[in-house]
């Protein structure tokens, strides 16, 4: 059962990141099965984090001054970044980025 205290929202940039990496796995690496498996793992990890309470995990330290702290979820060689917002008393887990762990995260999140 989903955590009813949080709404789940995805930024278009997350979908763009995910599509880029999935396309790479399918077209450049020629492994559509691995791409499907990664999508399933990403979805499951986000839902699991939502159920466990998105704010109960360690915040990402950053040199940037941010309005909302970032949190992360690790999936294989990738990192999902999200924030928790509040809107009219409703908490929102907003999934923002999907990046390869070797990308320069400081310039992207």
Host domain of residue 34 = 6-108
Residue 1 lies in a domain: no
Residue 58 lies in a domain: yes
User: How many domains are there within the chain?
Assistant: 1
Question: For the domain that residue 91 is a member of, what is the CATH number?
Answer: 3.30.2310.20
Sign of the dihedral defined by the CA atoms of residues 77, 28, 47, 13, in that order: positive
Express each pLDDT in 44-100 by its tens digit: 999 999 999 999 888 998 778 788 999 999 999 999 999 999 988 899 999 999 999
Rounded mean pLDDT, 9-22: 97
CA distance 60 to 58: 7
Secondary element (H or E) of residue 46 = helix 32-52
């Amino acid at each position: 059962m989903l955590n009813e205290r949080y709404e789940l929202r995805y930024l278009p940039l997350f979908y763009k990141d995910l599509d880029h990496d999935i396309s790479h796995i399918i077209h450049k690496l020629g492994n559509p099965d691995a791409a499907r498996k990664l999508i399933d793992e990403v979805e499951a990890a986000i839902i699991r984090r939502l159920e466990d309470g998105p704010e109960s995990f360690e915040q990402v330290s950053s040199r940037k001054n941010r309005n909302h702290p970032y949190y992360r979820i690790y999936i294989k060689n990738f990192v999902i970044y999200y924030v928790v917002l509040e809107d009219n008393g409703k908490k929102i887990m907003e999934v923002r980025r999907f990046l390869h762990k070797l990308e320069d995260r400081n310039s992207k999140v």
